[in-house]
Amino acid sequence: MKKPFLRPLWSLLLLVPLAAVAGPLDAQLAAYAVAAKAADPAFAGFSAARGQTMHTTAFALGKPDTPACTSCHGKDPRAAGRTLSGKVIEPVAVSVTPGRYADPAKVEKWFKRNCNEVLGRACTPLEKGDWLSFMRSQ
């Protein structure tokens, strides 16, 4: 005899692990989306393609020895990078290091430091969301 009330329970249990894995990054992207929409009412969503462009573009206003994200993180986000002093940096792609973006405070710390070094200014919420969307797509 089938118990129909168990079907919804099993469905919910199957969703819990997926929500737990995706939760912190989704929450960060949602917060950046709210801020991006407040800054520009025409905001229509993040773009992994724009994030890739940001990752690979050399900027003139940051530090001369780190003109692009690729200066330390490399062109392939799935591969380890290196700081200028030679210290290994774990891959930034979500597919390789899925827990990398679980702590919003740590993500903000690194955006603050890296954006100032590469761009010479703080990243906008749109830039942060685009870059994270690119990392999620890798």
Question: Which positions ≥6 away from 83 have C-beta within 8 Å?
Answer: 72, 89
Give the pLDDT confidence of 13-43 residue by residue, as tens digits.
Answer: 444 444 444 589 999 999 999 999 999 999 9
In this prediction, residue 3 carries a pLDDT of 52
The pTM (predicted TM-score) of the whole model is 0.82
Q: Which domains does the chain have, with CATH numbers?
A: 8-39+46-137 (1.10.760.10)
DSSP one-letter string for 74-118: -S-TTS-EE-TT--EE----TTT-TTTT--HHHHHHHHHHHHHHH
Whether residue 61 is predicted with pLDDT greater than 70 in this model: the reply is yes
Q: For residue range 100-123, list pLDDT tens digits in order.
A: 999 999 999 999 999 999 999 999
Mean confidence (pLDDT) of the chain? 88
Q: Can you give the pLDDT at residue 125?
A: 98
Determine the pLDDT at residue 20.
45
- Which 8-state DSSP code applies to residue 42? T
Q: 66-95, pLDDT tens digit by residue?
A: 999 999 999 999 999 999 999 999 999 999
